[in-house]
Homo-oligomer: A and B are copies of this chain.
Amino acid sequence: MNSRFSTAVHILTLLASTPGERVTSEYIAASVGTNPVVIRRQLASLREAGLVESKGARGGGWALGRDPAKITLKMVRHSLGADAKFRMHRNDPHPECPVGQNVRSVLEDVYEEADRAVMRSLEQWTIADMLKRVRRIAGTE
């Protein structure tokens, strides 16, 4: 998992915390502590996955695309595509080494399985859960 995933969850939880309102990328950026463009970039992936929707122009902004109880962290990870995945070493192995030539393909199987395990784990968390727990910690409930 990487920092893009973390940021995405942060954003979605923030949106869930202000239902009915549209929030600007500038506001989100201030909450996360970064630049609005960085946020918009992230939101772009989330929008493709249907998790958020945006409206341009004055009065525009961002809102969740669906019920936060129906957004799992699995979906979030999925929306980030290859960026969130396990990575292979990218060296060119020696052409005559049978191990070097073939470990990669076996490793791919390993990663695929591990990835499924991660997804099963993330599947159990929703944005609504995240918000609930955040609020419990903050004592805002």
Binding site for B on A (CB under 8 A): 1-7, 9-10, 13-14, 17, 30-34, 73, 86-94, 97-107, 109-111, 113-114, 116-118, 120-122, 125, 130-131, 133-135, 137-138, 140
A14 to B93 alpha-carbon distance, docked (Å)? 12
Kindly report how many copies of this chain are found in the complex they form together.
Answer: 2
Query: Which of B5, B17, B91, B100 is in CB contact (< 8 Å) with A99?
Result: B17
Q: Which 8 A-B pairs have the closest CB atoms?
A: A1-B86, A33-B91, A3-B89, A6-B89, A117-B121, A117-B117, A31-B97, A98-B138
The answer to whether A103 and B3 touch (CB under 8 A), given A114-B122, A121-B113, is no
A125 to B34 alpha-carbon distance, docked (Å)? 40
Let me know if B100 and A33 touch, CB within 8 A: yes
- Residues of chain B within 8 A (CB-CB) of A33 are 91-94, 100
A47 to B105 alpha-carbon distance, docked (Å)? 26
Closest residue of B by beta carbon distance from A16: B99
Query: Which of B1, B105, B133 is in CB contact (< 8 Å) with A106?
Result: B133
